[in-house]
Amino acid sequence: MDEKKVREAIEDFKKLAELLQNKESAAVEHCNIAIEALEKQLPKKPKEEKDAYTSKLGEFRVGKCPNCEMEASDRFDICIDCGQKLDWRK
């Protein structure tokens, strides 16, 4: 997914939610859900990265998800707990 288009869509949903603020609370809630889902598609750096090793997997890195604070492994490009896309590049 194109990061620029995702950011534009987030901004559009924020504007729409602002316009609907005094009219329909359900529509505003739906906009906020869409914003949250789209923001998870934008890769974020894990917190507190460190090297790890197991005999079964070999070397890998672990860190905390910046969204939900659960431990995440560089074996996956998303957090298994919340779905946040992760950027493991150094």
d(C-alpha 35, C-alpha 40), whole Å: 9
Confidence (pLDDT) at 31: 94
Confidence (pLDDT) at 54: 83
Query: In the chain, which residues have pLDDT < 70?
Result: 1
Helix (H) or strand (E) holding 53: strand 47-54
- Is 29 strand, coil or helix? helix
Q: Structure tokens of 75? A: 């074996």
Q: Please, what's the b/e burial string for 29-48 (b: 16 or more CB within 10 A of its CB; e: otherwise)?
A: eebeebbeebebbeeeebee
Answer yes or no: are the C-beta atoms of 36 and 13 closer than 8 Å. no
Average pLDDT, the chain: 92
